[in-house]
Amino acid sequence: MKSLLVKNGLVVTETAETVCDVLCEGEQIARIGKDLRPDGASAADIETIDASGKIVIPGGVDVHTHLNLDVGIAVASDDFFTGTVAAACGGTTTIVDHPAFGPAGCDLDHQIKKYHGFAEGKAVIDYSFHGVIQHVDDKVLTMMETLAEQGITSYKVYLTYGFKLSDADVFKVLRRAKELNLLITVHPENDGVINLLREEFRAAGKTGAEFHPLSRPAECEAEAINRMILFARMADNAPLYIVHLSNKLGLEFINAARIRGQKNLWAETCPQYLLLDDSRYKLPGHEGLKYIMCPPLRGKADKESLWQGLKADIDTVATDHCPFFFETKKMLGKDDFTKCPSGAPGIEERIPLMYGEGVVKKRISLRRFTDLCCANPARLFGLYPQKGVIAEGSDADMVIIDPDKTATMSKKLLHENVDYSAYEGIEVQGWPVYTISRGEVIAQNGEFCGRQGRGKFLKRGQVQRKR
């Protein structure tokens, strides 16, 4: 069996941060301790990495990506090869992708089957999918259980866009999720007000990117978050996960619900909402289109409240990675922001940004950083302890960060299949220098060195985190 020995790094394990060795045998972590050496057969074929002065964290788990996403007017430019190569180079070893909507009335497994086709033979890291619920009937509710048996244990519902669910349908889904202990993730925005505002801005000729955030106010997001929270409460504390939280008012509703005693409520935010703000929409030329995403970037006070929230209230940091080329796709919105495909890249930037802007700048601890980016997403989405933790018996997924290496975020440095980075010019301290997936080094010093198609589908279990 092939072995890999990572020596003398500062290892973030389940319980401690200690300088020690990690011995991987085959695809799993065999031992963690001081002065390890492989014994017997494994000694013959061993690769050693000197991690002195470096930090060894669990491989990143990004539970919100959109590879191959077809939004009608455009298709996200990263597929399961290019997107996962970028992920690997940036220190992420597991993704859970949110599929696009399928044709109207399609079965619940329609998009899952399609996405298996997208990922097989392409992905270079391990992956799974959330299910997407775009209509509700008895067949859909029955298939939630069938698909859960195949490892699809979380579902996404939308409160806006073409396949938004009605209140009654959302409630049916939440009741069913409670019964089966499945996690419902929600894109929360108030559809009615947003569509009215968009139409009013267009009619008034207010079509620049700066009207995008004004057409989707924080109150629209917060209202929908609160609505979902109360529906989940009526469904006997059904497991609910708020994706891409962007604003302070929404966080206040989440905290208030927890104080009232609501269980099984979790929240995710993304680096863009922590590090960028709505001044980006006023950039000269058509630069503002690069930041058109839903929910939009918010004000500085929202950013600050999210950083505060990361200390305890927010559970995960994911990316909502959804890249479109600026020159050919985002520019579709140059005369009308409502024609711009919504989304931005970020799968490769997450770990370096959260380490550099979070840990180095002392906004979050090293432990909290790994909880937010690795352990919590793995726990919530049924992948723990196979993923998200450096522990004996876990998959040997690790990232070695060089805390002394600095880098300037730039398209030139990154591997995403897109022509810009939303974080261009941000200098970060600390950079992933090795990415290890199931005992194999798949990226080193910013270059991918793995094999196309090596990633495996992960059959996920149920939510394993209490709150």
In the complex, which residues of this chain contact Mn ion (CB under 5 A)? 320
Q: Shortest distance, CB of residue 28 to Mn ion, whole angstroms? A: 32
Q: Which is nearer to Mn ion, 187 or 460 (CB)?
A: 187
Contact between 257 and 313 (Cβ < 8 Å) = no
Q: 41-56 burial by CB neighbour count: b if 16+ within 10 A, else e?
A: ebeeebeebebeebbb
Q: Shortest distance, CB of residue 439 to Mn ion, whole angstroms? A: 31
Q: Shortest distance, CB of residue 292 to Mn ion, whole angstroms? A: 13
Q: Shortest distance, CB of residue 377 to Mn ion, whole angstroms? A: 14
Q: How many CA atoms lie within 13 A of 263 on its CB side?
A: 9
Q: Which is nearer to Mn ion, 222 or 401 (CB)?
A: 222
Q: Shortest distance, CB of residue 122 to Mn ion, whole angstroms? A: 20
Q: Shortest distance, CB of residue 69 to Mn ion, whole angstroms? A: 8
Q: Which is nearer to Mn ion, 346 or 430 (CB)?
A: 346
Q: Which is nearer to Mn ion, 161 or 171 (CB)?
A: 161
Q: Shortest distance, CB of residue 187 to Mn ion, whole angstroms? A: 7
Q: Which is nearer to Mn ion, 32 or 372 (CB)?
A: 372
Contact between 437 and 59 (Cβ < 8 Å) = yes
Q: Which is nearer to Mn ion, 268 or 320 (CB)?
A: 320
Q: Shortest distance, CB of residue 98 to Mn ion, whole angstroms? A: 5
104, burial (CB in 10 Å: exposed 0-12, middle 13-18, buried 19+): exposed
Q: Which is nearer to Mn ion, 156 or 178 (CB)?
A: 156
CB neighbours of 68 closer than 8 A, spacing ≥ 6?
75, 76, 78, 79, 80, 100, 115, 118
Q: Which is nearer to Mn ion, 320 or 348 (CB)?
A: 320
Q: Which is nearer to Mn ion, 295 or 439 (CB)?
A: 295
Q: How far apart are CA 382 and CA 333, in angstroms?
A: 39
Q: Which is nearer to Mn ion, 21 or 320 (CB)?
A: 320
Q: Shortest distance, CB of residue 99 to Mn ion, whole angstroms? A: 10
Q: Shortest distance, CB of residue 320 to Mn ion, whole angstroms? A: 4
Q: How far apart are CA 30 and CA 5, in angstroms?
A: 10
Q: How far apart are CA 330 and CA 336, in angstroms?
A: 11
Q: Which is nearer to Mn ion, 270 or 354 (CB)?
A: 270
Q: Shortest distance, CB of residue 64 to Mn ion, whole angstroms? A: 6
According to DSSP, the residues that pair with 64 across neighbouring strands are none
Q: Among all residues, whose Cβ is closest to Mn ion?
A: 320
